[in-house]
């Protein structure tokens, strides 16, 4: 029964969850998802430090994933739900594994911010060594998963943006120069302290940008824990497309390498990432597999790894700033803030060390 005083439909009542207006989202589901059986339940999914992801389940046992921007003030197009929805929808008909999209809501009156909804893809996400060893105890399976990470990136870069309707997603030329400008601007907006290494790396990279060979879809934050696997270790879905644009595919390779720490240098990783589990291929093996799958020359890989570390430092500085300001609600607000700050510093130093080898 509805509440006559408020006009609220009791079918959409739910426990309060930060970032979700249960009544508004419930009504949107009823109007846009024919198979939904109210009431809905919402759960914030762990992992990720930018756009927020929630599991939405209904009384009939169906599940969806809902994506919305972080709570509070956000920066630039990284939190553009319509753009992210457009990318995932366009890739749905390609060899790139993504979650099927359900719909987009741009009316901020519904939930306080735009959001989009996808089918919920179940499967292990390997965020750390413990998850990798528990989900895939066999070292041979873990090695194959690592090689699939490289193969899937090559598949993303093989998609013709124009053929799938993404030719206008961004400028195709001068990608690295634009990235350096964009992320240096983000640094100026979100930094909580001065780090001279960020400035030096920016200047050195800007002075020796390699010639860009072709333009592809660029994920922008490509890494193992932005994949949902199935029980056999195949890639069920690549997720978190919020930084996707068009440009130099080798920038994605550099980002992946930055997220794939060497076993003798794990101090530039947050926690213990899954690739440190025995069996996973080394960074150089993953790079070689990508070169084989894509046919691309990785002679300038150190430049792109330095760019990846530098960009990751800036991204995490923004995360650190938003955590400190309460931009993620009550989720882990006081956990690991100082470790985040130190990691930003270590990443900036690593970027400078790798850049100096070029």
Is 203 buried (19+), middle (13-18) or exposed (0-12) by CB count in 10 A?
exposed
**What integer pLDDT is reported at residue 2 of this predicted model?**
42
**pTM score, whole prediction:** 0.89
Is residue 110 included in any domain, yes or no? Answer: yes
> For residues 118 and 32, is the Cβ–Cβ distance under 8 A?
no
Domain boundary among 55, 89, 119: 119
Domain boundary among 93, 119, 145: 119
End-to-end alpha-carbon separation of the chain, Å?
A: 68
Per-residue pLDDT of 61-76, as tens digits, reads 999 999 999 886 554 5
Rounded Cα distance, 351 and 328, in Å: 28
Per-residue pLDDT of 91-121, as tens digits, reads 999 999 999 999 999 999 999 999 999 999 9
Count the domains in the chain: 2
Residues 84 and 174 in one domain: no
Is residue 342 included in any domain, yes or no? Answer: yes
> For residues 50 and 78, is the Cβ–Cβ distance under 8 A?
yes
Q: Enumerate residue ranges in the chain where pLDDT < 50.
A: 1-9, 12-13, 75, 331, 333
Domain boundary among 89, 119, 149: 119
Residues 71 and 172 in one domain: no
Letter string b/e over residues 112-151, b meaning 16 or more CB atoms within 10 A of that residue's CB: ebbbbbbebbebbbbbbbeebbebbeeeeebbbbbbbbbe
Residues 163 and 287 in one domain: yes
Rounded Cα distance, 315 and 187, in Å: 8
Residues 152 and 24 in one domain: no
CB atoms within 10 A of CB 357: 9
Residues 326 and 188 in one domain: yes
Residues 334 and 285 in one domain: yes
**What integer pLDDT is reported at residue 219 of this predicted model?**
97
Is residue 328 included in any domain, yes or no? Answer: yes
Question: 249-258 and 283-294 are packed helices; what angle lies between their axes, rounded to 10 degrees?
Answer: 160
Is residue 124 included in any domain, yes or no? Answer: no
Rounded Cα distance, 75 and 329, in Å: 17
CATH number of the domain where residue 71 is located:
3.30.200.20
Is residue 302 included in any domain, yes or no? Answer: yes
Is residue 257 included in any domain, yes or no? Answer: yes
CA distances from 33 to 43, 63, 120, 184 (A): 19, 11, 14, 41
Residues 236 and 345 in one domain: yes
Residues 228 and 152 in one domain: yes
Residues 139 and 78 in one domain: no
> For residues 281 and 263, is the Cβ–Cβ distance under 8 A?
no
Residues 114 and 202 in one domain: no
Residues 113 and 161 in one domain: no
**What integer pLDDT is reported at residue 263 of this predicted model?**
83
Rounded Cα distance, 155 and 94, in Å: 9
Altogether, the residues listed in the chain come to a count of 358
**What integer pLDDT is reported at residue 328 of this predicted model?**
56
**What integer pLDDT is reported at residue 213 of this predicted model?**
87
Is residue 10 included in any domain, yes or no? Answer: yes
Give the chain as a 3 state SS string. Answer: CEECCCCEEHHHCCCCECCECHHHHHHHHHHHCCCCCCCEEEEECCCCCCCEEEEEEECCCCEEEEEECCCCCCCHHHHCHHHHHHHHHHHCCCCCCCCCEEEEECCHHHHCCCEEEEECCCCCCCCCHHHHHHHCCCHHHHHHHHHHHHHHHHHHHHCCCCCCCCCCCCCCCCHHHHHHHHHHHHHHHHCCCCCHHHHHHHHHHHCCCCCCCCCEEECCCCCHHHEEECCCCCEEEECCCCCCEEECHHHHHHHHHHCCCCCCCHHHCCCCCHHHCCCCCCHHHHHHHHHHHHCCCCCCHHHHHHHHHHHHHHHHHHHHHHHHCCCCCCCCCCCCHHHHHHHHHHHHHHHHHHHCCC
Is residue 232 included in any domain, yes or no? Answer: yes
Rounded Cα distance, 39 and 8, in Å: 13
Q: Which of 256, 228, 304, 233 is nearest to 153 (CA)?
A: 256
> For residues 126 and 132, is the Cβ–Cβ distance under 8 A?
yes
Residues 110 and 180 in one domain: no
Rounded Cα distance, 48 and 70, in Å: 11
Question: 249-258 and 301-324 are packed helices; what angle lies between their axes, rounded to 10 degrees?
Answer: 60
Domain of residue 283 covers: 129-355
């Amino acid at each position: 029964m509805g509440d006559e005083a408020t006009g609220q439909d009791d079918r959409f009542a739910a426990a309060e969850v930060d970032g979700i207006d249960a009544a508004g989202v419930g009504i949107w589901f009823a109007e846009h998802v024919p198979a939904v059986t109210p009431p809905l339940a919402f759960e914030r999914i762990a992992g990720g430090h930018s756009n927020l992801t929630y599991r939405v389940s209904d009384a009939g046992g169906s599940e969806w994933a809902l994506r919305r921007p972080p709570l509070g003030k956000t920066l630039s197009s990284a939190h553009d739900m319509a753009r992210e929805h457009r990318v995932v929808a366009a890739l749905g008909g390609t060899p790139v594994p993504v979650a099927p999209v359900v719909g987009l809501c741009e009316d901020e009156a519904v939930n306080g911010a735009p959001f989009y909804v996808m089918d919920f893809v179940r499967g292990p996400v390997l965020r750390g060594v413990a998850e990798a060893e528990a989900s895939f105890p066999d070292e041979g399976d873990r090695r194959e998963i690592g090689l699939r990470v490289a193969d899937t990136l090559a598949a993303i870069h093989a998609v013709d943006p124009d053929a799938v309707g993404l030719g206008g997603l961004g400028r195709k030329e001068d990608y690295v120069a634009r990235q350096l400008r964009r992320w240096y601007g983000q640094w100026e907006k979100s930094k909580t302290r001065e780090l001279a290494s960020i400035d030096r790396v920016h200047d050195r990279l800007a002075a020796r940008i390699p010639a860009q060979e072709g333009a592809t879809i660029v994920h922008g934050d490509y890494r193992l824990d932005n994949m949902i696997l199935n029980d056999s270790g195949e890639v069920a879905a690549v997720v978190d497309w919020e930084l996707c644009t068009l440009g130099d595919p080798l920038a994605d390779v550099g980002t992946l390498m930055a997220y794939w720490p060497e076993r003798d240098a794990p101090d530039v990783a947050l926690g213990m990432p899954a690739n440190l589990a025995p069996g996973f291929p080394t960074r150089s093996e993953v790079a070689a597999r990508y070169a084989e799958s894509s046919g691309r020359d990785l002679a300038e890989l150190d430049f792109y790894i330095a760019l990846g570390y530098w960009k990751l430092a800036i991204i995490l500085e923004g995360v650190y700033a938003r955590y400190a300001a309460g931009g993620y609600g009550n989720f882990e607000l006081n956990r690991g803030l100082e470790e985040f700050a130190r990691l930003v510093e270590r990443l900036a130093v690593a970027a400078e060390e790798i850049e100096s080898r070029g």
